[in-house]
Structure 1
Amino acid sequence: MTTFLALHYWAGSGREFELLRPLLPPGSHLLAPDLPGFGDEAAPAGFDYSVASYADWVAAYIEHNELEDYHLLGHSMGGKIALLLAARRPAGLRGVLLLSPSPPSPEPISDADRAASLAAYGQPAEAEKTFSKITSIPLPEAERQQVVADNLRTTRAAWEAWLLSGSREDITTQMTQIAVPCRLLVGENDRAISLATQRAQTLPLLPAGTSLVVVPGAGHLLPLEAPEEIFKDQYASDVVL
């Protein structure tokens, strides 16, 4: 059985992928852990919140769950982690599905936006504003509440580390080591990491033949805004081995 190991966005949690479960390709299942510092997952002692440390944590999770045939599904921050792990060529990895990923090069965040995000930590009103910014397709009230709640239960250490360090990390030199198929999905109206950014900073560094799928009308939260698009078309038929 093929496993999709889903890695969530910054200030989110693994539960963002729940809508994907009934849409999975036949013969596959989904694992969606909370990453350290997010959701219900406490960071291990000494954890430094770097992209490499997150990749190490995911590798340990793969070993613990004895995954031998799996695909990485990385959203936003989770996409950058997935790319670094894929560059290590772990055994059993069959492909990488990227949903509006943080690019391998530093994310283009202005100093003003970075400062505003740092100051927004733990503030319900700011969490509501973030929800409005990162979504474009209207979502049910329960999903809005989920996104806001996940934002507010992020630890300060994980929040600040990504803004000050993780989002700025440059893993471009490792991208040539990726040896599995990749697919890139981006929301047409993504205001968090724009389509232009993905075309300039992500797509050129992915393996030759990687497809870019633009999801009409969607913003940044593709697993919630357009879950039916995730496994569509050629990729869905290719993953069942």
Structure 2
Amino acid sequence: MPRRLLEIASNSVASALAAQAGGADRIELFDNLAEGGTTPSFGSIALARERLTIPLFVLIRARPGDFLYSADETQIMLRDIENCRLLGCDGVVIGALDADGEVDIALCTALVAAAGPMQVTFHRAFDAARDLPQALEQVIALGCQRVLSSGGQASAEAGADMLAALVAQAGGRIGVMAGAGLNAGNIASVATRSGCHELHASAKATRQSTMRHHNPALPGLSPDWTATDAAEVAALRAALDG
């Protein structure tokens, strides 16, 4: 069996570098972790590209919330993809649905075309689709290299049976990457149950602020933050390889 690929969802350049140090095979760079991720800044993408030696994929998502996008949001995403091409990224992560929960073929076709030679992953908008088997065929027709999915469930562990069905349906025409709720304790079993050879996790941990001054009157402005932890990535890698 070929070595399973570990992609780490990284919410900053520091997280991406920690993921690389921990043994990640690929980075998905994004911002705004608390709301499911949005496109990171140009500066973040540029510095990540300069510093990383492993493949860099960038999330293309104009805002949090649903996956039904306006004309202006479409233009934002197209320009963000253009920036990723200019910066030499290896891939982008896209996805859009229409109001009825079908894959937005017209919009996604434009996003895939804009990606040009970069690889394309269809993100977990897929899990919000009305009919996952039908959505898989649509994503395959778009020419995406892989789809990220939890099998339509809150976690890949809960959706492992559906993921296995999707892998069988795909028949090698597209990669099915399991993601959501993966940790060192369950990633190997999810990989085995689902048949997925690519796994996606965040390996996040809380970073304690080193500020000596903190205003307690600002409870909504926590000095701490969440970032990828290299040791957590190493534990995921060891679990997959074990």
Q: If the length of structure 2 is used for normalisation, what is the TM-score?
A: 0.37
Greater share of residues in helix: 1
Larger Rg: 2
